[in-house]
Structure 1
Amino acid sequence: MTSRLSRRPVGRAFSTPPLHAPTARGPARPRLSHFARAALLLAGGEAAFAQDSADAGSSTAATAAASGTAAIVVPSVLVTGARAEPRTVQSSPTPVDVFSADAIDGAARAGLLETLNSLVPSFNLPNWVGFGNSTLVRGGQLRGLNPDHTLVLINGKRRHSTALLGAGGFTASAPADLSLIPTGAIERIEVLRDGASALYGSDAIAGVINIITRQDREGGSVQARVGEYYEGDGLTQQYQGHLGLPLGKDGHLSLAAQYDKQRPVFRDSPVPSTFLFYFPRNAAGQPILPSGSLASNPTLPAGATPDPREATRNSNQVFGLGGLQGFELGSLSADAGLDLGAGIEVYGLATYAHRKARAPQYFRHPSRDEVVRALYPDGFTPFSGITENDLSATAGVRGGEATGWRWDVSAGVGRDDIDTYIYNSVSPTYGLASQRDFFLGNQTYTAYTANGDLRRTLDIGGLASELSLGTELRQERFKRGVGDEQSWGHGGQPVLDGPNAGKALGNGFSGSQADTGNRPEDVINAKRHSEAVYLGLSLKPLRDWVVDTAVRREKFSDFGSTTTGRLATRFEIASGFALRGSVSSGFHAPPLAAQSQRATDIANDYANHQLRVSSPEAIALGAKPLKPEKSDNLSLGVVASPLQDLNVAVDVYQIKVKNRIATSTSFREALYPGTGALVQAAGLGFADGINYFINAADTRTRGIDVTLDGAFKGNGWGRLRWSAALNYNETVVSRVADTPAVLQAYNVPVFSVAQQNTLKYLAPRDKEIFTLNWSRNDWSVQTRLTHYGTIKRVGSPATIPTTGPWAGQREIVYDVGNLWTTDLEIAWKVTPRVRLALTANNLFDRKPATLPDPLLNKFQSYAYVNNGPITGAGGFYAVSARVDF
């Protein structure tokens, strides 16, 4: 079979149905309330806020022009969290953060995921959770839940998911990928920290991230940012452009483009000299097998001498995952709107992104059986890779002001197309005929959505109210294609040379090293559709009391129907002091890819098979049809402005999630004696392993969010603004799925303790962000301090230690948190249109803890823990320039 490397065409454009939720983009800009200011201050905005006057926009612009500071006027109107009329931050019955375009830019991060991680305390972005291509599409956690427990909207319309199941290392997750949206297209981001499935449907268990795009009719900007890490690596470049154009009399066409490129960062320890790369030599100078494990601990046998090449080898090989992957990403967006008259507007949004990314796997030293030494005499480091094309398009029409019924009808399509590769690898059973680069297969996810929404203000028994109702039709498709034959096949070639020359390579050596391709039996072509209706009612029983209710009924073709509801309220007890709270139910549909997943991973001496959950083999081993995850959310908060320039918000919450989806424990003969017979009964090799997707557990998450902000304005020395935001979050596993009897017989837990620990401990226990911003005339200085609390990790040593602090421990508990990082930006407005900035992220070069010694591999002298929010990359600095026109 011919390799498909670099031959696949770019995905085609689609013109079909579409995306979700009514969006109000705007009444005239209102007065900025204290809580609107609070949200902006929390975002670390760079410039003066709008004054509390009806002409806020013009007065702020005048103030900015006089002072030379960059002005930002961000509406306090919120789209997210209600189907009724948009509200200000102050009057919202649920907690919402609002981040301006300047706040996003001021974070100086590579993409929206990194930006949200630096701005939102309840958001966690782990770096690498596992190996392979799943690390190249990252996912962030809101309130410690899975990435696809947070719904992503763009202008109130549902964003499609990634095609890569297991994104970010979360095995059953397929979230929307925020990294693919150009930041220059964004006017603001609204983060709703509350369950909202009754409003928006599946996925909104932890909350909603709503991205509002720019709708400029004129002007634009270009910006460049270049930086690198303190050790002189990881060169990062970002170039942005935005242009606003008039469309008709009152319409707009807002265009944005962005290009990002990051080189990889490696922070692996040198390999100890006791770990041999080459075969040792006997007294006659002939190569012999080393002592210890050939793959994981080759050492010098008694009486042998090292190969002379050991003295000149490169001991700084990429032998672990301590660092950052490299990527190249280009993205485009176009937002258009045109007034047709009579209060009717036609609108549309299209985005496109193209990404290439690579991540290293473990170095294969040259004495291993899977190394074809004639091709790689000094070993090799395989690199997982993806080439991705992502496209979305939404179009709609709205109006109805004259009739009293405001309506919005829209349709759209989202498609993510990913080719997966392994580079600089080998398929050992093909010997000298092996490829070095392999196409592993294609994965494509497509979602078509159509929406119809109605809203009307009513008088119900003298109570001011607003009714909202609507429907959504959605169709999803997932396809996975086969990879190059050498990426999964067995060529029959034995070991070619060395002490094991002529040794047969079993099925565990099939396919390309590190990542193997999709086999013919792994091919998927699945689809499903869903229909939903919702009804919402917002009431105002008293002038200072707001009550929001909503109910939604949704039916899926593959697992049936579900109903969710929501009640949220806010009551202002006194001026500047209010209580708010909500209770809601939610759900998350199993990813379409998980419903039909069938995959094979190759290790050195066995293959692990993930069985399709509906297959007869999986059912015989206890698998059951996947159910949707369901949640119950409770939230209670207080908002207050006790002083003119002091704002406080405190919200406590509880989220119970039932039937969380994960992979079952992988079992095989070497780990659970006797299970080889089960594997053979499934038609697989005796030494192979098996797992499948399950509804693994129920969890309960409890936490608290606190935000405070204030400002001081001195005479002559500038303006000082500060904010403090913190999150405390704790998850417990309240129930684990029953282990099927067929597995109980061999002491196989269907969901292991190690897997439970990932649910509980991946996110920091607490996170605090403190921001201080000083500005005067043309200068501004911003400092952001972030504290990560306990980040608990649990590991099992290969050999139980007999001495030291971990003596006798089968599970070692350690903490990689309790870290402080500092970000600093110094900016200068050279002219009213030109801004220069110097940024340092992680100014003091803080790094996470290293692994406890008993958990190190033999090729490591130390290793940074790389699955937390802080990596071993260390400090980063950048310079940037922006020109407005």
Structure 2
Amino acid sequence: MKTKVSTLSRSIHALLSATATFSLVATSMAHAQSETPDNGANDVEKIAIVGTRSAPRSVGESAVPLDIIGGDEFTAQGATDIDKMMSASVPSFNVNDQSINDASSLVRPANLRGLASDQTLILVNGKRKNRSAVITFLGGSLSDGAQGPDISTIPSIALKQIEVLRDGAAAQYGSDAIAGVINFALKDDSDGGTFEARYGSFYEGDGDTVQYSGNVGLPLTKDGFANLSFEYREADPTSRSIQRPDAAAIAAAGNTDVPNPAQIWGNPEIKYDYKMLLNTGLDLGNDKQAYMWTTWSEREAEGGFYYRNPHTRGGVYSNDDGETLLVGDLTPNDGIGCPTVAITDNRPDQAALAQLQADPNCFSFYEMWPGGFTPKFGGTVFDASIVLGTKGEMSNGVHYDLSASLARSEVEFAIKNTVNPSMGPDSPTEFSPGQYNQIEKNLNLDLSYPIEVEGLSDPVNLAGGLEWRRETFEIQPGDPASFEVGPLAYDPMTGTSQGFGIGSNGFPGFKPEDAGSWSRSNIAAYVDVEAFLSDEFMIGAAARYEDFTDFGSTFNGKLSARYQMTESLALRGAVSTGFRAPTVGQSNVRNVSTAFNAGRLQDQATLPPTHPISVQKGGTQLQPEESVNYSIGLVGEFESGLYLTIDYFNIKVTDRISQTSSLTLTQADIDALLALGQRDATSFTSIRYFTNDFDTVTQGVDIVLNYSMEMLGGDTKFSFAGNYTDTQVQDVGPDGTVGNIGANKVMMLEDNLPDTRFSLTANHTNGDWRILARVNYYGDYFEDHVDDGTPEARIYPGAETTVDVEVAYNFTDELSLIVGAQNAFDNRPDDNPLADWVGSAYPTTSPMGMGGGFYYVRGVYSF
């Protein structure tokens, strides 16, 4: 059986997300129930290491919003995508489908509290996870140009719990922690294990998914553990497309070579996805431990791209908008010209076409692909890391944690079913456009010491530490055919061009002159103090200094407090400053991709902000984003088992980093590029670069509610996770633009994510049976369809609700069978009012996904 994994991932994502919500609820509820055993629950209180340098804390004791999702609860869902699994668990965590979205289809950006994917810090066992080499050039505006970690490289079965700190924490952890921190805590069992098999498919009959995973705990001598996890996944692509009207018109005119649908909108195919993780620890005696974990993952994905119309695609088929075919003279110096082939009523002149085909010295791509063509874009994503360290308590009472890490991420791009037009009939149809690499090295020393202070019942915890980090971004060139300037684009004898495009069409390869390696180092020092001024009142303060070799230094601070007003109610709040350093990749990357602009496909070049053409268009060296974060909330833990948190947050980010909107190149700009040796400049119509171009204010409210009770002869846990988030771009002009950010992009930043999102989950257990039901609500949102940037591309889809269900039965203590459905009633987003434009049946950035209903079955064996 051939497997199919793309669409499935998304649907499962919704279900897993909801289950994750339940997990969060149940976890939070565990704390409340630990003090109320009479309610029939057997939950164990969970504690987290994020958000404090003191002793680990439970959810309710934290001075800032903190969610803890148990590993078993997290995986008790149909989804296989960690991003999707978290979406329902964390009120303000969102992830969109990324169909036909360049490298975003390989590593999807996820957003916490309405901010970009690289504005959330990701930790594994409390240590910083490396960035992905993928830069999301097309990230739905909100994450355009973001370069964040790829959390999907972690096998979900390896997780003990997930800790989500929804508050600014740059003063504690450094760059990127503007929106918050997510820590993935790994399993550390020295015995037992779990094996699991999953299969699922969409109601529509596509997107079949198969996944196998396992976790085994082994002893490492009598004083340690070695916990090994693995995962393998495959998935078929999905399609939620209709035939494009231009393709339909050509087919109606008698062209039988036009594919139907000509362009696929849906999840990419996951050809394979391997993940392995080994977590080890060893007790050294005398309150000292050694630890090490290593990860390895590799996956290959392939998705669709934009259709190349055989009459109008510039640089390939026609350069006069479909009046005549673009014909190349293979012997331009023989004095014999080529015929002109006019196009009338969607049909080339047949007599002229026959003359063209009979002349071996003349060529048109209409001869190779008379129905047009649609490139297939994808790549292989590799990620590996190792962390080693030791921690413990010294004889003087100082706790220490010394660690070192090395990580590497690679993305090797691939594109096929396309051509390098400038090479004419000699062009291959498959290319390797090149590779991005991200290499990171870290050294960390963390120290803490409890100080007894007269008059205080608890010691004051004093912590501090040092960090050194080095990041390297590399570009490796593609195969020569992917960037070659062929004779139909540039004739060295005459210095003229016949107007054919250069490089693998859709994603030209990286040229040797664009390749290179760029590095940056930084050092950091921090201090962190926490104290209980009374049994009810706790305060904390943190400060951090960092110095970067490329842009200088930054200093950030944080104050937090928690006050237990009554036995059941506590007030908490924090204020902090933060920052996110521009990545080395954002400062140096070069890329050419095909995207829409003003209703037409264009080859858009992304250049470094310090490139002469970028400077001419206003580019300057990138500076760090800076933020001020306020939060205040109420925590309620009641004897009935009810657990409730309500938190307001306000995050102002100045000098936000993003890509500019498309900036049209003038002939003078192109001439300047040619003078600099950019021989493919004649293929560019516009450029983009990274810029600190605007400020935003994001504010909202998170609500988490958990409650459990006995009913119907069993135990039922109810959970609610809701979020309201509003983002406003500052200093927008009368025309709706700010700086080099266009009006549509401003609207996407503000409204592409729904303002309101919530999930309500009920999980009932009765003997060997478990039944889960979840309602997911997504508010209305705005979409700039295919990032076109024009008023005509604006879509305003309405709110949607989906329902997930799952039934589990334990045949024995070891063997369980689970069946379920995400989006059980097969709800779809609003029909796309622009579907006739490029063939997407639904809005492509729908927060609920485009796939519809998805059913699945899981078999779990534990020992």
Secondary structure of 2:513's match? helix
Secondary structure of 2:222's match? coil
Task: State the match for 2:482 in structure 1.
Answer: 487
Structure 2 residue 272 is matched with structure 1 residue 328: yes
Task: State the match for 2:778 in structure 1.
Answer: 788
The structure 2 residue matched to 1:257, chosen from 230, 251, 255, is 230
The structure 1 residue matched to 2:855, chosen from 858, 871, 877, is 877
Secondary structure of 1:103's match? helix
Secondary structure of 1:119's match? coil
**In 1, Cα distance between equivalents of 2:188 and 2:683:** 61
Task: State the match for 1:688 in structure 2.
Answer: 685
- Letter of the aligned partner of 1:331 in structure 2? K
Task: State the match for 2:194 in structure 1.
Answer: 221
Secondary structure of 2:565's match? strand
Higher mean Cα deviation, 237-246 or 752-761? 752-761
Deviations 1:247-268 (A, max 9, x none): 1222100000001111110110
C-alpha contact 2:603 2:683 (8 A) present in aligned 1: no
Higher mean Cα deviation, 239-248 or 680-689? 680-689
Structure 2 residue 254 is matched with structure 1 residue 307: yes
**In 1, Cα distance between equivalents of 2:369 and 2:500:** 20
Secondary structure of 1:593's match? helix
Equivalent residues in 2 for 1:599-618, closer than 5 Å? 599-601=591-593, 607-618=603-614
Secondary structure of 1:91's match? coil
Q: Shift of the alpha carbon at 1:725?
A: 1.4
Structure 2 residue 512 is matched with structure 1 residue 520: yes
C-alpha contact 2:277 2:295 (8 A) present in aligned 1: yes
Q: Shift of the alpha carbon at 1:720?
A: 1.5
C-alpha contact 2:450 2:461 (8 A) present in aligned 1: yes
Task: State the match for 1:316 in structure 2.
Answer: 261
Task: State the match for 1:570 in structure 2.
Answer: 562
Q: Shift of the alpha carbon at 1:692?
A: 1.8
Q: Shift of the alpha carbon at 1:653?
A: 0.7
Task: State the match for 1:865 in structure 2.
Answer: 843
- Letter of the aligned partner of 2:769 in structure 1? W
**In 2, Cα distance between equivalents of 1:681 and 1:748:** 27
Deviations 1:313-368 (A, max 9, x none): 54323x25244553521100000011111111110110000110111002334455
**In 2, Cα distance between equivalents of 1:723 and 1:748:** 41
**In 1, Cα distance between equivalents of 2:697 and 2:590:** 30
Q: Shift of the alpha carbon at 1:381?
A: 2.3
Structure 2 residue 636 is matched with structure 1 residue 640: yes
Inter-CA distance 168–569: structure 2 relative to 1 (3 Å threshold): farther
- Letter of the aligned partner of 1:694 in structure 2? T
**In 2, Cα distance between equivalents of 1:273 and 1:583:** 55
Deviations 1:642-692 (A, max 9, x none): 4512221100010000001112232226xxxxx433443444549732332
Task: State the match for 1:209 in structure 2.
Answer: 182
Task: State the match for 1:172 in structure 2.
Answer: 145
Secondary structure of 2:518's match? strand
Secondary structure of 2:87's match? helix
The structure 1 residue matched to 2:708, chosen from 708, 711, 728, is 711
Inter-CA distance 780–50: structure 2 relative to 1 (3 Å threshold): farther
Task: State the match for 2:8 in structure 1.
Answer: none
- Letter of the aligned partner of 2:190 in structure 1? R
Task: State the match for 1:595 in structure 2.
Answer: 587
C-alpha contact 2:507 2:592 (8 A) present in aligned 1: no
Structure 2 residue 359 is matched with structure 1 residue 363: no
Task: State the match for 1:732 in structure 2.
Answer: 728
C-alpha contact 1:511 1:517 (8 A) present in aligned 2: yes
Structure 2 residue 840 is matched with structure 1 residue 840: no
Secondary structure of 1:403's match? coil
**In 2, Cα distance between equivalents of 1:74 and 1:133:** 41
Equivalent residues in 2 for 1:427-438, closer than 5 Å? 427-438=420-431
C-alpha contact 1:425 1:512 (8 A) present in aligned 2: yes
C-alpha contact 1:42 1:771 (8 A) present in aligned 2: no
Secondary structure of 2:477's match? coil
Deviations 1:497-546 (A, max 9, x none): xxxxxxx9756611112221112232131000000000000011000111
**In 2, Cα distance between equivalents of 1:131 and 1:492:** 31
**5+ unaligned residues in a row in structure 2: which ranges?**
1-18, 318-364, 491-495, 675-680
Task: State the match for 2:295 in structure 1.
Answer: 351
Task: State the match for 1:338 in structure 2.
Answer: 282
Structure 2 residue 801 is matched with structure 1 residue 820: yes
Structure 2 residue 404 is matched with structure 1 residue 408: no
Task: State the match for 1:537 in structure 2.
Answer: 529
Task: State the match for 1:676 in structure 2.
Answer: 667
Secondary structure of 1:102's match? helix
The structure 2 residue matched to 1:395, chosen from 352, 377, 388, is 388
The structure 2 residue matched to 1:622, chosen from 599, 618, 621, is 618
Secondary structure of 1:755's match? helix
In percent, how many aligned pairs have the same letter? 32
C-alpha contact 2:530 2:541 (8 A) present in aligned 1: yes
Deviations 1:62-106 (A, max 9, x none): x99xxxxxx8x6552111111111111121111111111122112
**In 1, Cα distance between equivalents of 2:725 and 2:602:** 39
Q: Shift of the alpha carbon at 1:493?
A: 3.9
C-alpha contact 2:123 2:129 (8 A) present in aligned 1: yes
Secondary structure of 1:574's match? coil
- Letter of the aligned partner of 1:196 in structure 2? A
Higher mean Cα deviation, 232-241 or 425-434? 425-434
Structure 2 residue 409 is matched with structure 1 residue 465: no
**In 2, Cα distance between equivalents of 1:542 and 1:55:** 25
Equivalent residues in 2 for 1:12-161, closer than 5 Å? 41=22, 43=24, 75-128=45-98, 131-161=101-131
CA RMSD of aligned residues (A): 3.1
Secondary structure of 1:266's match? coil
Secondary structure of 1:763's match? coil
Equivalent residues in 2 for 1:645-656, closer than 5 Å? 645-656=641-652
Secondary structure of 1:43's match? helix
**In 2, Cα distance between equivalents of 1:341 and 1:628:** 44
Secondary structure of 1:114's match? helix
**In 2, Cα distance between equivalents of 1:267 and 1:760:** 27
For this pair of structures, how many residues does the alignment match? 775
C-alpha contact 1:217 1:253 (8 A) present in aligned 2: yes
The structure 2 residue matched to 1:182, chosen from 155, 160, 184, is 155
C-alpha contact 1:167 1:174 (8 A) present in aligned 2: no
C-alpha contact 2:21 2:88 (8 A) present in aligned 1: no
C-alpha contact 2:94 2:111 (8 A) present in aligned 1: yes
**5+ unaligned residues in a row in structure 1: which ranges?**
1-37, 65-70, 279-299, 301-305, 496-503, 670-674, 740-746, 801-809
Inter-CA distance 461–261: structure 2 relative to 1 (3 Å threshold): same
C-alpha contact 2:304 2:374 (8 A) present in aligned 1: yes
Secondary structure of 1:138's match? coil
Q: Shift of the alpha carbon at 1:856?
A: 4.4
C-alpha contact 1:74 1:100 (8 A) present in aligned 2: no
TM-score, reference length from structure 1: 0.82
C-alpha contact 2:67 2:163 (8 A) present in aligned 1: yes
Q: Shift of the alpha carbon at 1:738?
A: 14
Deviations 1:680-717 (A, max 9, x none): 34445497323321101000001001111211114x61
Q: Shift of the alpha carbon at 1:461?
A: 3.9
Q: Shift of the alpha carbon at 1:820?
A: 0.4
Inter-CA distance 108–711: structure 2 relative to 1 (3 Å threshold): same
Inter-CA distance 354–167: structure 2 relative to 1 (3 Å threshold): farther
Inter-CA distance 327–759: structure 2 relative to 1 (3 Å threshold): farther
Inter-CA distance 562–51: structure 2 relative to 1 (3 Å threshold): closer
C-alpha contact 1:227 1:878 (8 A) present in aligned 2: yes
Q: Shift of the alpha carbon at 1:875?
A: 0.5
**In 2, Cα distance between equivalents of 1:40 and 1:751:** 35
